[in-house]
């Protein structure tokens, strides 16, 4: 028989042997999980635990376990030591990455634009209106990145070889985009097609490759940023389980105690009250049910509204198509500089008037969920605006590009600039004049109208429409991202001022946490995908102008890439670039597989979201059933207590104990029950 000391020594030796290959972090965690006293754990972690061993002379040697660890480590192979070193290095790199990521996130949050203004908007108007301003700020970041990229790799090199502009500046160029601006870095036709080189020994800079690669890098970055943003917002707003619980726990029990200033505290309280009101409104609207006649009436109203809206959109697209077909002939017969503004003026009038007509359909449709109303308006408006942009792209690529003009790329860039500028002017006029007049009418003339509510769908589609024009025009007008930056800055402040002066909070509070996902999806499809198709047709199918631009003299724009690849194929050190282009970038199969992978991942995310919805619903039902069971047991216990008062208490002791035990199991309480609860039951208190 082994003594207790021997058994203890064997256990400790096995413990030491298991701790040897571990890292210091895992070793501390393993010691913490040991079923020992705190004193033994401290001694073991510090190396102060002594092990007593008996030899033939019954002598006692006190050896710390650190010595045993060192002795055993000397027996380990060199491979294991290297592996532990690599693991520690990876852990250190991981910690450093997390710390740098957190530090960078804190810095970005501290310099984030309009943080205080957005909090005020969210506290007063709710998350639905706030989603529009968040989307505007998100687009601003896109354009800042695009401008930095274009300015660094296209505009600055062109400045070094640019000739002096001899045209006279009149000021009308700000509205028409022609004249003086034609011979500046603003348009495609001004850029050189030669290789820039300063001095005989200086490095060369191929302007053709720089132009097409910079535009391609900008669009590729936007593509992956859109995918990443959609995945992030989808995970946060559709997959995380906390969104299905309404967020009540976070709203009620989580207060930021770092908020100490009086204004900040009041703003935080206002935000919390608005969010609670939105959650309760959502729950109330989800539980409302309609009769069959009401459903039939609303379905008929929906069908009529959709037929009318589709007919209006088709009529507007037909008008734009015929106007665009005769636009070139109209410009040839009219020498007035303002004649070029006819097409942008008509298109902007349609984009301003028709969405307002769509907004009046809410009086007939009367959606119970405000979110559904916004979704429907977004779909109708995106159908109208993308159809108009599609007709304009057809006009540019099939009429302007084949018209034989001297520099058709610059003409397209000027058209896009005028469309963007006219849309911005109409938006400002509507914000400062139209919405102001609507407030005067609602407050003084027709008081029954009252203040209007912020139209989220119409304003968001204005941003998507403008950004689509910027992406199309970035190839023909590289400075468009900079122009869009200025417009978005002005738009934010103008919309904020108009919102505070002319609008009231939504009459039906609703959560808009999932709106950003839908906005970015509409920006990606059909907006960004349509831009990629348009630019792909331009680069792969159309012939560049012979006398202007960096691609002059080439049969197609893409031939600049073909020539570069042929040059690299003769250099052994760059054959890997040729392989990547021919097998990945230039392969249709690669993009097909990539698209298939994206679709599969999207489908899996959607299934995860649906599964978690079902899980949350089942758990909610289970909680309700458990509550009913507890109430039943409490009522039964009260009845038994009443019977004890009327009859002999000793005859019902056993049954009473059984009920109390079952009640404890249902309530999840320990064996020692709350004395106040028992006293209230014994006194026959029905509120117990």
- For position 139, what pLDDT does the model report? 92
From the list 142, 116, 102, the residue with the least C-alpha distance to 229 is 142
pLDDT at 683 over 90: no
| 579-615 burial code (b ≥16 CB/10 A, e <16) | eebeeeeeeeeeeeeeeeeeeeeeeebeeebeebeee
List for the chain the helix, strand, coil content (%; round to 5).
Answer: 75, 5, 20
From the list 614, 623, 612, 602, the residue with the least C-alpha distance to 668 is 623
Q: Which of 270-279, 377-386, 513-522 has the highest mean pLDDT?
A: 377-386
From the list 332, 381, 625, the residue with the least C-alpha distance to 527 is 381
Which tens digit of pLDDT belongs to each residue from 488-504? 999 999 999 999 888 88
User: pLDDT band at 402, cuts 50/70/90?
Assistant: confident
pTM, to two decimals: 0.72
From the list 213, 125, 161, the residue with the least C-alpha distance to 502 is 125
- For position 53, what pLDDT does the model report? 42
- For position 55, what pLDDT does the model report? 41
Which tens digit of pLDDT belongs to each residue from 52-96? 444 433 334 344 555 555 555 555 555 566 666 777 787 778 888
pLDDT at 342 over 70: yes
Which tens digit of pLDDT belongs to each residue from 603-642? 887 787 778 778 878 888 888 888 888 888 898 888 888 8
Dihedral angle, C-alpha 160, 161, 166, 169, nearest 10 °: -40
CB 349 within 8 A of CB 388: no
- For position 131, what pLDDT does the model report? 85
- For position 438, what pLDDT does the model report? 85
Using DSSP's 3-state secondary structure scheme, residue 197 falls into strand
- For position 577, what pLDDT does the model report? 86
pLDDT at 670 over 50: no
- For position 682, what pLDDT does the model report? 45
pLDDT at 675 over 60: no
* Sequence ranges of the domains in the chain: 8-46, 138-241+295-555
- Give the Cα separation of 290 and 294 in Å (integer): 6
Range with the poorest average pLDDT among 288-302, 378-392, 542-556: 288-302
pLDDT at 2 over 70: no
pLDDT at 254 over 90: no
Which tens digit of pLDDT belongs to each residue from 299-310? 888 899 999 999
- In 247-361, where does DSSP find H-type helix? 248-253, 262-287, 292-325, 327-333, 342-360
Higher pLDDT, 131 or 469: 469
- For position 238, what pLDDT does the model report? 63
User: pLDDT band at 126, cuts 50/70/90?
Assistant: confident
pLDDT at 344 over 80: yes
From the list 521, 609, 502, the residue with the least C-alpha distance to 135 is 521
Phi, psi angle pair for 22, to nearest 5°? -80, 155
- For position 672, what pLDDT does the model report? 43
- Rounded to the nearest integer, the mean pLDDT of the chain is 79
- For position 260, what pLDDT does the model report? 63
- For position 646, what pLDDT does the model report? 76
User: pLDDT band at 583, cuts 50/70/90?
Assistant: confident
User: pLDDT band at 155, cuts 50/70/90?
Assistant: very high
What average pLDDT score do residues 440-466 get?
85
Radius of gyration, CA atoms only, the chain: 36
Range with the poorest average pLDDT among 234-248, 514-528, 584-598, 660-674: 660-674
pLDDT at 7 over 50: yes
- For position 63, what pLDDT does the model report? 44
Which tens digit of pLDDT belongs to each residue from 403-421? 877 889 999 999 999 999 9
Scan for tokens 């959609």, then name that residue: 230
């Amino acid at each position: 028989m082994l003594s207790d000391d021997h058994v203890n020594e064997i256990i400790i030796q096995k413990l030491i042997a298991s701790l040897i290959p571990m890292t210091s972090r895992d070793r501390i965690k393993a010691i913490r999980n040991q079923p020992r006293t705190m004193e033994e754990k401290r001694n073991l972690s510090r190396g102060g635990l002594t092990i007593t061993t008996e030899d033939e002379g019954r002598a006692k040697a006190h050896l710390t376990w650190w010595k045993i660890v060192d002795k055993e480590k000397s027996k380990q192979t060199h491979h294991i030591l290297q592996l532990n070193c690599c693991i520690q290095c990876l852990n250190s790199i991981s910690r450093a990455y997390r710390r740098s990521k957190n530090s960078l996130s804190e810095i970005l949050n501290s310099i984030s634009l309009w943080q205080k203004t957005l909090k005020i908007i969210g506290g007063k108007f709710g998350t639905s209106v706030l989603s529009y301003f968040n989307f505007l700020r998100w687009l601003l970041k896109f354009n800042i990145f695009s401008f930095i990229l274009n300015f660094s790799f296209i505009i600055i090199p062109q400045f070094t070889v640019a000739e002096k502009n001899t045209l006279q500046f009149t000021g009308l160029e700000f509205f028409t985009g022609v004249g003086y601006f034609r011979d500046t870095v603003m348009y495609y036709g001004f850029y050189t097609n030669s290789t820039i080189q300063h001095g005989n020994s200086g490095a060369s800079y191929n302007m053709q490759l720089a132009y097409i690669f910079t535009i391609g890098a900008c669009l590729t970055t936007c593509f992956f940023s859109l995918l990443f943003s959609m995945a992030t917002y989808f995970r946060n707003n559709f997959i995380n389980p906390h969104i299905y619980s309404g967020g009540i726990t976070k709203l009620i029990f989580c207060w930021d105690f770092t908020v100490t200033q009086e204004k900040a505290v009041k703003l935080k309280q206002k935000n919390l009250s608005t969010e609670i009101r939105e959650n309760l409104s959502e729950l109330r609207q989800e539980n409302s049910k309609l009769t069959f006649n009401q459903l039939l009436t609303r379905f008929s109203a929906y069908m009529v509204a959709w037929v009318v809206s589709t007919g209006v959109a088709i009529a507007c697209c037909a008008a734009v198509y015929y106007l665009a077909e005769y636009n070139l002939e109209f410009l040839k017969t009219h020498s007035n500089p303002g004649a070029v503004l006819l097409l942008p003026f008509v298109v902007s009038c349609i984009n301003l008037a028709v969405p307002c007509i769509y907004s009046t359909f809410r009086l007939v449709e009367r959606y119970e969920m405000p979110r559904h109303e916004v979704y429907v308006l977004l779909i109708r408006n995106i159908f109208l605006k993308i159809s108009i942009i599609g007709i304009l792209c057809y006009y540019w690529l099939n009429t302007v590009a084949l018209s034989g003009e001297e520099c058709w790329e610059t003409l397209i860039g000027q058209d896009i600039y005028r469309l963007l500028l006219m849309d911005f002017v109409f938006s400002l006029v509507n914000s400062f004049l139209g919405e102001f007049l609507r407030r005067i009418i609602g407050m003084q003339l027709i008081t029954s109208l009252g203040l209007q509510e912020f139209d989220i769908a119409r304003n968001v589609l204005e941003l998507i429409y403008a950004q689509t024009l910027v992406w199309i025009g970035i190839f023909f007008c590289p400075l468009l991202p900079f122009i869009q930056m200025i417009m978005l800055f002005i738009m934010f402040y103008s919309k904020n001022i108009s919102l505070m002066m002319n609008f009231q909070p939504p009459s039906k509070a609703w959560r808009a946490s999932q709106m950003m996902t839908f906005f970015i999806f509409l920006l990606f499809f059909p907006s960004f995908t349509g831009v990629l198709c348009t630019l792909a047709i331009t680069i792969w199918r159309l012939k560049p102008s012979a006398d202007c631009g960096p691609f002059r003299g080439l049969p197609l724009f893409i031939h600049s890439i073909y020539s570069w690849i042929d040059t690299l194929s003769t250099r052994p050190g760059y054959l890997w670039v040729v392989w990547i282009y021919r097998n990945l970038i230039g392969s249709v199969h690669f993009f097909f597989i990539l698209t298939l992978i994206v679709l599969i991942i999207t489908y899996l995310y959607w299934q995860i979201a649906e599964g978690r919805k079902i899980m949350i619903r089942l758990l909610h039902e289970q909680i309700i059933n458990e509550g009913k069971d507890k109430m039943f047991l409490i009522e039964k216990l009260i009845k038994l207590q009443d019977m004890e008062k009327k009859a002999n208490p000793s005859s019902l002791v056993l049954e009473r104990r059984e009920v109390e035990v079952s009640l404890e199991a249902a309530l999840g309480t320990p064996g020692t029950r709350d004395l106040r609860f028992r006293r209230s039951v014994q006194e026959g208190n029905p509120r117990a």
